[in-house]
Amino acid sequence: MSRLLELLEPVQAQFDHYRQRGGFLLLHPRSKYRSVLVANLLRDQPYPVFYYALGTDDVHLSALLRGITQILSAQHPLFGRHTQLHALGASNNLRELATAFSNDLNELCAEPYVLILDEFDRCDAADDIQIFLEYLVDVLPSQCTVVFNSRTIPRISWISILAKNRAVMLDDEALVRENFYDSTPRNEPVLSVSAFGPGFVLLDDDPIESWEGHLPRLLFFFSLDRPVITRSEICSAFWPDLAVDQAVNVFHVTKRRLHKALNMDVLVHEDGYYRMNGDIRMDYDIANFVSRLIDARESTGAEQFEHYSAAADLYQSPYLHGYSDHWIKMRRGDFSKGYLEALKNLAEYRIGESRLEVALNLLLRALHETEDDESLHRQVMRLYTQLGRRSEAVTHFKTLEASLHKRNQLPARETIDLYTEIMA
């Protein structure tokens, strides 16, 4: 037993390091010590640990939330009241339900804590749980880290959650930085995939152009960013207004066209799920982008600058630019957050080198991606002023003020104070 605890020490140390970030923490299914780590976490820890093991009944979201509420309310009697009030409202909006559950998690404990969801693979088939989790991660209280212990990788889009820095994957003491879904390609051909922009696929350096419409291509990109997907999940994302049998028929036609375009079985059906064919070697710009972001977060100085620069260079254009499907807009927003993280850190690095003009251009690129971050606007105004371009700082404020006015909003007090300071 003492030898096992000795082997577990570096694993526990890595876990304690990364659990402080909050968000989702996946104990990768290939981890040797994940179950031993969970058992050790249930012993005395210097931080609160809450635990729920999924049962055979947790095959849909309402059962899972009911089970978690029953267990946690024994330790915190009021836990679940926000979720129950939402249920009484009879709303089917999973985003609102995620916010209600997050409010319960926020009241569960004020200090940083861990919530372990053990045997999570029991709910693999539940589409509503996977959708709920993708909403929950964005509203999770900062003091809460949700830990997943599972024999399979949960079906959410980990690659997009990693991009916005709301999750980590741990393989015992190693942080997973690439090959997130544990595919082991063995054969040719090679697919070069670019999702930044309208979406391009090259097969052995030759562009694929015979898609027979946009749906086969979008189905390909939809499948790339998840470990596995269900047919019902695909139909709900692509043809929500069609009857089930009609949606299934269209799906099979679309899948055949996808396989025909690439001249191979791209989607493999296995154990009730569809997954990307693991034998295909693939160079995917999104995966490379996320790997670079993770490497940057784990480094400092010039090495960090190099990784953030590479990530920013990979971001040629917004994800699947030109499409407005709901799932595309969600992922586009996630990858955009990673891009903004890279630009902000690059700008800080250049400011440290007193290269203010370069930093200003980086922040203007960031504002081209998002106009809603007033802290970015303030940084731009300060840099204009430091560069002796006071009139441009004033013009920038006036443009921001006019833009907010169109949305019946006013600049934040901090922004107004900065403008007053510049005018003085």
Per-residue pLDDT tens for 347-369? 999 999 999 999 999 999 999 99
Q: Say whether pLDDT at 189 is over 70.
A: no
> 359, 351 in Cβ contact below 8 A?
yes
* Distance in angstroms (rounded) separating the CA atoms of residues 96 and 296: 33
Could you give the CA distance from residue 106 to residue 144 in angstroms, rounded to a whole number? 8
Q: How much is the mean pLDDT over the chain?
A: 93
Whether pLDDT at 3 is above 80 = no
The 10s digit of each residue's pLDDT in 6-20 is: 889 999 999 999 999
Q: What pLDDT shows up at residue 201? A: 95
Residue range 370-385: average pLDDT?
94
The answer on pLDDT for 242 being more than 90 is yes
How far apart are alpha carbons 391 and 30 in whole angstroms? 58
SS3 82: helix
More confident: 205 or 273: 273
User: Percentage of the chain surpassing pLDDT 90?
Assistant: 88
> Token match 């982008």: residue?
289
Position 188 confidence tier, pLDDT thresholds 50, 70, 90: low
Q: How many CB atoms lie within 10 A of CB 248?
A: 16
Contact 277, 266 (CB under 8 A): yes
CA angle 328, 330, 332 (to 5 degrees): 65
Percent of the chain beyond pLDDT 70? 97
Judge whether residue 239 has pLDDT over 60: yes
Separation CA 228–CA 270 (nearest Å):
9
Max mean pLDDT range (73-87, 204-218, 290-304): 290-304
Q: Per residue in 309-348, pLDDT tens?
A: 999 999 999 999 999 999 999 999 999 999 999 999 999 9
The whole-number pLDDT of residue 187 equals 62
Max mean pLDDT among 116-120, 178-182, 224-228, 405-409 falls in: 116-120
pLDDT of residue 185: 60
Higher pLDDT, 277 or 139: 139
Q: Return the pLDDT at 1.
A: 55
User: How far apart (Å, rounded) are the C-alpha atoms in residues 49 and 101?
Assistant: 18
Q: What is the mean pLDDT of residues 108-115?
A: 96
Nearest CA-CA partner of 140 in 181, 112, 177: 112
Check residue 102 and give its pLDDT: 97
**pTM (two decimals):** 0.93
Q: What's the whole-number mean pLDDT along residues 68-85?
A: 93
Q: How confident is the model over 214-218, as a mean pLDDT?
A: 95
Give me the residue label for tokens 């053990």. Answer: 118
Task: Examine the pLDDT at 176 and tell me if it is beyond 90.
Answer: yes
Q: Roughly what angle, to the nearest 10 degrees, separates helices 244-262 and 215-224?
A: 90
Q: Based on the number of CB atoms within 10 Å of its own CB, is 56 exposed (0-12), middle (13-18) or buried (19 or more)?
A: exposed
Domains detected in the chain = 2-175 (3.40.50), 187-283 (1.10.10.10), 291-423 (1.25.40.10)
Scan for tokens 């994940």, then name that residue: 34
> Residue 3 and residue 332: Cα distance in Å, rounded?
47
Question: Which CA distances in Å does 407 have to 375, 401, 404, 410?
Answer: 18, 10, 5, 9
Over 90: is that where the pLDDT of 412 sits?
yes
pLDDT of residue 336: 97
Q: How many residues does the chain have?
A: 424
- CA–CA separation, 189 and 280 (whole Å): 7
